[in-house]
Structure 1
Amino acid sequence: MTEIRFSKDETDRIVDKVKTYFARELEQDIGGFEAEFLIAFFAKEIGPYFYNRGLADAQTVFREKAEEAGYLIDELEQPTN
Structure 2
Amino acid sequence: MTIIELPKPVRAQAITSIQHYFEENMSEPIGELAAGLLLSFFIEEIGPVIYNHAISEAQTRLQQRVSDLNGELYADAFQYWPRLDARKRKNSR
Which bin holds the TM-score, normalised by the shorter protein? Answer: 0.7 to 0.9
TM-score normalised by structure 2 residue count: 0.74
Q: Could you tell me which amino acid in structure 2 is paired with residue 58 of structure 1?
A: A
Quick one: percent identity of the two aligned structures?
A: 27
SS of residue matched to 2:68: helix
1:78 paired residue number? 77
CA RMSD of aligned residues (A): 1.4
Q: Which string of whole-angstrom CA distances, capped at 9 and with x for unpartnered residues, describes residues 18-54 of structure 1?
A: 1111111113211111001001111111111101100
1:62 correspondence with 2:62: yes
Higher gyration radius (CA): 2
Q: Could you tell me which amino acid in structure 2 is paired with residue 41 of structure 1?
A: F
Higher relative contact order (CA 8 A, sep 6+): 2
Which region of structure 1 is more displaced relative to structure 2, 60-69 or 9-18? 60-69
Q: Aligned equivalents of 2:70 and 2:31: distance in 1?
A: 54
Q: Aligned equivalents of 1:18 and 1:27: distance in 2?
A: 14
**Displaced runs of 4+ in structure 1, greater than 3 A?**
none
Matched residues, number: 78
2:7 paired residue number? 7
The alpha carbon displacement at 1:77 in A equals 3.5
> Superposition pairs for residues 26-45 of structure 1, below 5 Å?
26-45=26-45
TM-score normalised by structure 1 residue count: 0.84
Q: Aligned equivalents of 1:70 and 1:55: distance in 2?
A: 25
SS of residue matched to 1:29: coil
1:22 paired residue number? 22
Q: Aligned equivalents of 1:70 and 1:32: distance in 2?
A: 54
